[in-house]
Amino acid sequence: MSFFSLDFSRKKEREVERKLRANDREYNLSFKYATNAIKTSKYNLFTFLPLNLFEQFQRIANAYFLFLLVLQVIPQISSLSWFTTVVPLVLVLSVTAAKDAIDDINRHRSDNQVNNRRVQVLIDGELRGERWMDVQVGDIIKLENNQFVTADLLLLSSSEPLNLVYIETAELDGETNLKVRQALTVTGDLGDNIDRLAAFNGEVHCEPPNNRLDRFMGTLTCAGQKYSLDNEKILLRGCTLRNTEWCFGLVLFGGPQTKLMQNCGKTTFKRTSIDRLMNVLVLCIFGFLACMCTILAVGNGIWEVNEGSQFTVFLPRQEGGNAAFCAFLTFWSYVIILNTVVPISLYVSVEIIRLGNSFYIDWDRKMYHAHSDTPAEARTTTLNEELGQIKYVFSDKTGTLTQNIMTFNKCTINGKSYGDVYDYSGQRLEITEDTETVDFSFNPLADPKFLFHDHALVEAVKLENQEVHAFFRLLALCHTVMAEEKNEGELIYQAQSPDEGALVTAARNFGFVFRSRTPDSITIVELGEQQTYKLLAILDFNNVRKRMSVIVRSPGGKLSLYCKGADTIIYERLHQSCSKLMDVTTEHLNEFAGEGLRTLALAFKDLDEEYFSQWKQRHHEASTSLDDRENKLDQLYEEIEKDLLLLGATAIEDKLQDGVPQTIEQLSKADIKIWVLTGDKQETAENIGYSCNMLREEMREVFVISGTSPTDVRQELRNALTTMKPDTAEDTHFLQERTLGKGMKAIRDEVVNGEYGLVINGHSLAYALECSMELDFLRTACMCKAVICCRVTPLQKAQVVELVKKYRQAVTLAIGDGANDVSMIKAAHIGVGISGQEGMQAVLSSDFSFAQFRFLQRLLLVHGRWSYLRMCKFLRYFFYKNFTFTFVHFWYAFFCGFSAQTVYDEWFITLYNLVYTALPVLGMSLFDQDVNELWSFQHPELYVPGQLNLYFSKTAFFKCALHSCYSSLVLFFIPYAAMYDTVRDDGKDIADYQSFALLTQTCLLIAVCIQMGLEMAYWTAVNTFFVLGSLAMYFAVTFTMYSNGIFLMLPSSFPFIGTARNTLNQPNVWLTILLTSILCILPVIAYRFLWIQLRPTINDKVMFKVRQAKATPPPPPRRTRMRRTSSRRSGYAFSHAQGYGDLVTSRRFLRRPAISRSSGLTPKGRTTTGFSPMGRSAGYSPTGRPQNTKVPEVEVTSLQMYRTVRDPVF
């Protein structure tokens, strides 16, 4: 942790421009740049004790008990021994310090693990293995394939042609798509020549450290020439090198100054809302304590003046003492006596309860993920009850909601749908893990991981259905995938998007294997025959076109254009002869979209040689034009992409994690709002929103905010506001009665008719988060049922969370799995990390972690709700029993001359909170539950009271204080009246102080134990033992301490000799105990009965259902695959980036020339007749298994019903 002076100097000397020189450590050290070591820990060996104690004494109660300890060492005012305070205080401080030390040790281990990774650094003309923490700005380092990037680097050279490298940025932006970076030619020529690299002395001038992941500005000066640097030449820390044998880079930023660490946000000390409320209440209690002590001190002064002079004969005053001085001393004496209104055992108990509830999360087998061997883990023990109050959940998409695995599920080809499985009666079967899969053993090049269940499609391929062949040929040719074949037949596809990879893999398994490519050719294996197509043009994808096309020449010389894209876009460009096929395909697309699948239409056309030659010339002119190049190219693309012939459509499932739709539905029923913050493109995010039931067709409208200027964004937000609430006013959305302090107003909840969704992209969000617009954005978003922010940076994620925290009086939770989610996780009240495929950064920064998003509903609806309920019951009961205990002292002061005499035996005062009432309240706080977990899932609305703070609030606290006041009056005056002028059975006087003290404390303990029984909703053997055992312990200890033997051992410490046996053997004493107990609990029972009858809560209603069901849990809901019935289709199935086609045709991506390979398939004969059977022919099944028969909705026996596709090869 930095000293304040250092922090001040750093802020004063803010870096404006970074200057560095390669291979010159002495020059670079003069600027005092940060090293590459990172530090997320808070303490070290020397600062731990002072800093930790400083943090702990920021808790008001701890400071109060320290002050109390000082008072108790003053003999004139101390009426209790000093050890009654110091022992519990030291215990609390020690337990908390130990817990904080363990947490920080784990952070140190994590830091050491990262800092001690090894990397090759070029030092003194040779490569040396160095630790990451020892790397300096200006060093040249060597990275190898699959290594993490050590620091923010300027790429110098690589093993790939044209100095390209491929990186995966999952930990930065959540995307697993490969990105391409390219070095400058001047540095690329250095290659891996160590001597030339060591002699390189280029100077870099660039921007200072910042958190912008999408931009970089700088210049490289080398050999007197200046070269421009941008983001395409930078490798950021957190990326992973892929498919690149080696590369060299120059360190620009290290450690805390890297863009990854700049986006991580600050580690803040998180407190629960109950902790914050407790601080306020403790201040109120201190004020109330001061009032009571003042009243009693004034009473003592009056008593000394009026009555005290009569006692000076046998109770002389000290020298200099007078009534005022006695009153002053009495004030501080009562501060000590009445300190039990806030006993330190409260904080000991709170820590134990939180620890116990944390263990429940760690031990929960239903949150254990067997596949990855990952249990749930409560990484902090201070936030459990906050899990029961969550109002907003901010979730990442990739790796959190989805597995980032695309699967080719279904397709429609020439009007016939494939992918469903039917039984012999034609009924569609649900596909499960046990459903039989298609056997691809006929294809040696098939991907063994690919699964498909409809045998009809592979039979159509084997029977040489021309439409099916053309369909898969298009998928094998129309893409920008790169193939890698290290061993013969072992193909590895590197796709820019996982959905494009899924389509090419599907074609591969069905016999159309993409094998290799050059800038002007694509080699595929078609059913065993290797074919090389000449690649003439790639009409690349962008967000406006929503399609991509390739123009190829077949081995037979035929020119063809293959196109795939959004169905709405493709349909506009189809030939009119496809109208009937288009209608049938549309029905299939609606079915696919209803299941949440991402659809893509496929079409093609044959091209005329003469026309294409002219078009190619115009294309070349447009592509080299300096003016309006993009519009000219778009016009050419529009011209050639028309009169297409429809082949069919694909349906890809972006596989959600198990149980995501059900979890989101359950959380929505619990009135928890879910916002998705993702780095993915808008189309992909929307598709997932529909797949997981966040966005629904039933919504009145889904607003898309995509403005490119502040004015546009503001107008779009206000249009959305007006649509949802036409009569809305400008300034009516603030809470008039509540503010958040420092002049900040809280935004109130607004009710709108119907459900709405909001989708906003990163550029628009940057404007929306500006001070002048943030309230409009927040108000609009809070009125929507679902919010999706796409293309957002890690820092924007944190800013959105901070905005909600700032203006909404609600508890937030952020959940993610990658390093790009760390800042969001740190910013939220609760951070949850998912142990995913993107490293452990999110888990290391989180408060709770588990393996699957679906466990979130159990964490919140079961563990969170129970923890909150238990903590609130604990606090209500704890304050009740201690206020009641303390108020009896207050009433007694009026009968003891305000002398600060205690009404109870001193040993009872010491043991009341530590022994007699500790275990029952802990038992309730660890085991109690209003309903079991199945009923909690059955009724998610049980979660709502926690969001509204209904179980414990200032109102509940004052009700508790009033209840305690009533009970203390009963507990003091009933025994007082019963003992007044009373004699025993044998005629001896019983009305002495010791007998009264014993009777009062016995009535108190029994009354609070009965009250405990009324609070508990779930009795266990442990709870019963604790309650009855505490009463038994009280009587055993009382009779022991009041016995003759103990008195003879220590007469001064045990003065109540014989009191227990002489008092508790009288019938009138037990009748008094019974009467007092009844009078204490009678109003409670009456109040609860009337409240349940007149204004039952959701808990009362559900518990009534439980009793009606005779405490038998409802049957667990069946986990079925949720199907949507909407007609909404995705605009485009790809999370694709613009410009990738240019890279493919520019010779920039190639490794080395592809060698001629033998095909992996035996050539199949082809039919030369005009007949190409669809599906099965005359019951023939090449698989030799019973066929899946289907009653077709559309007759497809004749190929001429739509059209016949000619094989462009022949």
Task: Give me the active site residues, please.
Answer: 396
Q: Which two tokens stand for residue 88?
A: 């519990």
The tokens 């039952």 sit on which residue? 1096
Q: Is the distance from CB of 823 to CB of 795 less than 8 angstroms?
A: yes
Cβ-count burial of 19 within 10 angstroms (0-12 exposed, 13-18 middle, 19+ buried)? middle
Q: Could you write out the DSSP letters of every residue in 199-217?
A: H---EEEEPPS---SS---
C-alpha to C-alpha distance for 14 and 895, rounded to whole angstroms: 69
State in Å, rounded, how far the first CA of the chain is from the last one: 74
Question: Can you say whether the dihedral through the CA atoms of 713, 719, 724, 729 is positive or negative?
Answer: positive
- Residue 1144: which region, alpha, beta or left (left: phi > 0; alpha: psi -120 to 50)? alpha
Q: Is the distance from CB of 816 to CB of 842 less than 8 angstroms?
A: yes
Residue 1197's Cβ-side half-sphere holds a number of Cα atoms within 13 Å equal to 4
**How many residues would you count in the chain?**
1210
Which DSSP letter does residue 838 get?
Answer: S
- Residue 703: which region, alpha, beta or left (left: phi > 0; alpha: psi -120 to 50)? beta
Q: Is the distance from CB of 231 to CB of 216 less than 8 angstroms?
A: yes
512-518/521-526 β-pairing: antiparallel
Q: Is the distance from CB of 891 to CB of 1002 less than 8 angstroms?
A: no
Q: Is the distance from CB of 243 to CB of 178 less than 8 angstroms?
A: yes
C-alpha to C-alpha distance for 239 and 147, rounded to whole angstroms: 9
Q: Is the distance from CB of 890 to CB of 338 less than 8 angstroms?
A: yes
Question: Can you say whether the dihedral through the CA atoms of 226, 232, 235, 237 is positive or negative?
Answer: positive
Q: Which 3 state secondary structure label does DSSP give 789? A: strand
C-alpha to C-alpha distance for 343 and 762, rounded to whole angstroms: 51
Residue 393 CB neighbours (<10 A):
21
Q: Could you write out the DSSP letters of every residue in 541-599?
A: --TTT-EEEEEEE-TT--EEEEEEE-HHHHHTTB-GGGHHHHHHHHHHHHHHHHTTPEE
Q: Is the distance from CB of 823 to CB of 794 less than 8 angstroms?
A: yes
C-alpha to C-alpha distance for 689 and 707, rounded to whole angstroms: 21
Residue 604's Cβ-side half-sphere holds a number of Cα atoms within 13 Å equal to 28
Three-state secondary structure readout of 426-486: CCEECCCCCCCCCCCCCCCCCCCCCCCCCHHHHHHHHCCCHHHHHHHHHHHHCCCCEEEEE
Q: Is the distance from CB of 1080 to CB of 971 less than 8 angstroms?
A: yes
- Phi and psi angles of residue 1063, each rounded to the nearest 5 degrees, phi first: -95, -45
Sequence-ordered list of residues with C-beta below 8 angstroms from that of 537, at least 6 positions apart, any chain: 550, 551, 616, 619, 1145
Strand order in the sheet with 246-253: 126-131, 118-123, 140-144, 246-253, 152-158, 234-235
C-alpha to C-alpha distance for 706 and 680, rounded to whole angstroms: 15
Cα–Cα distance list, 708 to 317, 683, 779 (Å): 84, 17, 20
